[in-house]
Copies of this chain bind each other. A is one copy, B any other.
Amino acid sequence: MFENLPEKVTIREVGPRDGLQNESQFIATPVKKEFIRRLVAAGLPHIEITSFVNPKWIPGLADCAEIGKEFAQVPGTVTSALVPNAKGLEGAKAAGLKEVSVFMSASESHNKANINKSIAETLRIFEELIPQIRQAGLAVEGMVSVVCGCPYEGAVEPRKVVEIAKTLLRYGATAIGLGDTVGVGTPLQVKRLLDMVIPEVGKDRIRLHLHDTQGTAVANAVAALELGVTHFDSSVGGLGGCPYAPGASGNVPTENLVYTLHGMGVKTGIDLHALLETGAWIQDQLGHPLPSNGLKAYLGRKVRAEQKATAAAS
């Protein structure tokens, strides 16, 4: 156990997109920019900065063109954005981005609810879109949602995930994202899924996107890590809730993942202290507590230190 852990993993911070799009209020563009700048300064190797979607769908990301342009090229940090279609790709290209993600679900009902198309219809669109992205010189991740379970259909067959992943690779995807979008997976389930996906996709092309709805995300990441997965999504403070359960935890908090990885001797290139300060900062900007255990502990230790200092001074 833990004898062949990877030396280094890449964490993609999805707070600015996946996190902020779940906020009920519009986050001002200067706040988003400062947030991304602080994440870059904390050493995040990859940041999902926005989504080039119709602002009618996601009004919170209506400033995608401006954010995209500002952070299309950041020395030492990969930046990427979601694109749902050819129009989104135009936006990403105009901004100058070098990597995008297309997304779909492994279950019919979730795909229908999320993008109002069947899986077959979505794949037909991607059959054109992915080659266009590649021809434009961009890398493209095919992100597959609800790989561990669907809020409408329940269990999702790993076979179904493998089929979609293989199809997306055939179209030209350069990476495959596997999203436990509802956070229902357990380490055994993640292992069984990866045992089927890794031989077809290759572990270096897999990106695991975990949610902490049931408190299993770090355990799931550790199981994947032991199977050789080296690319994980997360969001600082655990930004971004679960649309199926108001108030529930969202993405695995970046600081929980970084704490665990560093504690196990796996490098991330991230400055944990700067990351926690960034979490504290964005929490202040949003004006409500974020769910992350690690952030709460950090802020609690600060409170305790201040109490001690006050007691000592009086």
Chain A residues within 8 Å of B, Cβ to Cβ: 1-2, 5, 183, 185-189, 191, 212-219, 221-223, 226-227, 242, 244-249, 252-253, 255-256, 259-260, 263-265, 291-294, 296-301, 303-304
Chain B residues with Cβ below 8 Å from A299 are 245, 247
By the criterion CB–CB under 8 Å, are B244 and A304 in contact? yes
By the criterion CB–CB under 8 Å, are A186 and B264 in contact? yes
By the criterion CB–CB under 8 Å, are B297 and A264 in contact? no
Chain B residues with Cβ below 8 Å from A188 are 2, 5, 263-265
Report how far A246 CA is from B298 CA in the complex, Å: 10
Chain B residues with Cβ below 8 Å from A293 are 212-215, 248-249, 291
Chain B residues with Cβ below 8 Å from A260 are 186-187, 214-216, 219
8 more CB-based (< 8 A) A-B contacts, given A214-B259, A215-B218, A247-B303:
A2-B187, A5-B188, A185-B263, A215-B294, A216-B260, A218-B219, A242-B300, A245-B297
Chain B residues with Cβ below 8 Å from A215 are 212, 215, 217-218, 252-253, 256, 259-260, 292-294
Report how far A226 CA is from B186 CA in the complex, Å: 14
Given A187-B222, A219-B219, are A213 and B297 also a contact pair (CB < 8 Å)? Answer: yes
Report how far A73 CA is from B294 CA in the complex, Å: 39
Chain B residues with Cβ below 8 Å from A298 are 245
Q: Which listed residue (B222, B259, B292, B301) contacts A245, Cβ 8 A?
A: B301
Given A186-B259, A214-B256, are A248 and B297 also a contact pair (CB < 8 Å)? Answer: yes
By the criterion CB–CB under 8 Å, are B247 and A1 in contact? no
Report how far A102 CA is from B150 CA in the complex, Å: 46
Report how far A217 CA is from B294 CA in the complex, Å: 12
Chain B residues with Cβ below 8 Å from A213 are 293-294, 297
Report how far A242 CA is from B301 CA in the complex, Å: 10
What residue of chain B has the Cβ atom nearest to residue A221's Cβ? B219
By the criterion CB–CB under 8 Å, are A300 and B216 in contact? no
Closest beta carbon of chain B to A103's beta carbon, Å: 22
Closest beta carbon of chain B to A185's beta carbon, Å: 8
Closest beta carbon of chain B to A267's beta carbon, Å: 14
- Give me 11 A-to-B residue pairs in the complex whose CB atoms sit less than 8 angstroms apart, sorted by A's number: A1-B1, A5-B188, A186-B264, A188-B264, A214-B293, A215-B218, A215-B293, A219-B260, A222-B222, A244-B300, A247-B299
Given A226-B1, A264-B187, A297-B242, are A216 and B256 also a contact pair (CB < 8 Å)? Answer: yes
Report how far A253 CA is from B219 CA in the complex, Å: 14
Given A222-B222, A249-B293, A296-B249, are A244 and B301 also a contact pair (CB < 8 Å)? Answer: yes
Report how far A2 CA is from B186 CA in the complex, Å: 11
